[in-house]
Structures are given as structure tokens and as C-alpha cells.
Amino acid sequence: MRTTKRLAAIGLFAAAALSLAACGESSSTGSGSSSTAAPTTTTSASAAMSDGVTKTSDTFGAGCASLPKESGNKGSLEGMVTDPVATAASNNPLLTKLVAAVKAAGLVDTLNKTDGKYTVFAPYDPAFEALGADALNAVLADKTKLTGILTYHVVPQRMDKDGILKAASLPTVQGGTLKVEGSGDNVTVNGAKVLCGNIPTANATVFVIDKVLMPAA
């Protein structure tokens, strides 16, 4: 009888233990489901923001103050939003020499592709002037070399400031890579300072820089 009672007691204890374990697993699973849902939402939000598309309110850099402010001006931040990047740049008073170079290289249609997604590092006019008239004219006259230089400024993916800083090394259309450094609003690309960044256009995110970037020979 005592043996039977002991076995019965052990059986009841085991059943109780299994019941508690089951409750624990159920509670843990419920908690896990809840904690799993949050990362899924976060991942979706990150994915939505990782496309590199920016708004005019996302722009940064002292150089942005030099852009036209007049309502309706196609060279203003608001005016550039709806145009593809080559057209948008052609309306920007800071980028007249870049636009001339793009036209000389025959890259307007390529950069204006409606299904294109680009990150463009756009040297402002003084950057081209710093090359010197003779050197600049020589480059403009050499279409192959000019095309290589210009495509070195283009990344075949749309990225915002956070994206380029996180990547640090960016493969370009030309085939070389660009090195991005900095933090906050102080960002450099191959040592060139970003004067105005996160500029949105219809098919690209633009960063105006203070130097012309030269690919390795």
C-alpha cells in the first residue's frame, strides 16, 4: 500500500511538473510571438527607408543655402524633385560646368532614364575651375576620359546620407570605388566635402561636392 501511495504521489508530482512546463512554454511562446512581431515591423520600416529616396527636408550642408529659393524656380530644391537628375542639374546654378561635361560625354539620356536609380556626387562649378582651363578643356575634348571621370561620380544605386556612411565604400558605374567618411553633416567622398547632400530628384539622390573626383589610372 505504501508503495502504491508513493507511486501515486510521484505520478501526481510528475503530472503537475509537466503541466507547469507546458504553461511555461505556452507563456514563452506567446512572449516570443510578441517580441518577434516588433522586429518584423522594424525590418519593414528599415527596408522602406533603405531605398535612398529623400525629401527636401532631408537636405544638409551649408551649400544648400546657395540654391535658388524662389517658388517655381526649377533650380530650387522643390523644383529639382520632379525632374530626372540630368535635367534637374541643368537648372541648378551651381552645376553649369558639370552639365556641360555631361552633354559633351553624351550621358544626358543615360542619367535621365526614368527607371534609373542613382546616387550622384556632383562637383560644383569652382571644382571644375580648380582644374585649370587647359586641363579642363583637354578633358572635355577626350570623350573616353571624360566619360570615365563622370561615371566615377555615379553609383548605380539610390542612397541617402545614412546609406553612404554605412556602406563606406561605394562601387561606381565607372568600375572604381569611392570612400565615404565622416559623421553627422560632415561627410567627405574621396576627401571631397559634401556641400549640400540628400538632394532629391526624380531618379537620383544628389550630393554636391567641392572637388572633381579622379579615378585611378
Residue 3 pLDDT > 80, yes or no?
Answer: no
Q: Return the closest-CA partner of residue 80 out of 69, 91, 71.
A: 91
The answer, yes or no, to whether residue 48 has pLDDT greater than 60, is no
Residue 132 CA, distance from chain mean position: 32
- pLDDT of the residue at 84: 98
CB 194 within 8 A of CB 187: yes
| Residue 209 pLDDT exceeds 50 | yes
The values of phi and psi at residue 178, to 5°, are -110, 140
The whole-number pLDDT of residue 217 equals: 77
Helix (H, G, I), strand (E, B) or coil at 146: helix
Would you call 118 helix, strand, or coil by DSSP?
strand
- Give the C-alpha separation, 96 to 44, whole Å: 39
Instruction: Give me the pLDDT at residue 49, please.
Output: 42
Considering the chain, what percentage of its residues have pLDDT values greater than 90?
A: 74
The residues with which 194 forms a beta bridge, in sequence order, are 209
Report the alpha-carbon distance of residue 39 to residue 7 in Å, rounded. 48
pLDDT above 50 (res 34): no
- Nearest partner of 178 among 196, 159, 153, judged by Cα: 153
Poorest-pLDDT segment among 46-50, 69-73, 164-168, 174-178: 46-50
User: Rounded to the nearest 5 degrees, what angle is found at the Cα of 199, between the Cα atoms of 148 and 89?
Assistant: 55
What is the mean pLDDT of the segment spanning 119-146?
A: 97
pTM score > 0.85 for this model?
no
Strand, helix or coil for residue 183: strand
Q: In the beta sheet, which residues pair with residue 179?
A: 169
Q: Does the pLDDT value for residue 37 go beyond 50?
A: no
Q: How confident is the model at residue 50 (pLDDT cuts 50, 70, 90)?
A: low
What pLDDT score was predicted for residue 72? 84
Closest CA to 68 of 204, 196, 203: 196
The CATH architecture to which 56-209 belongs is: Roll (2.30)
Q: Is the pLDDT of residue 38 over 90?
A: no
Report which of residues 5 and 64 the model is more confident about: 64
Task: Tell me what pLDDT residue 70 has.
Answer: 86
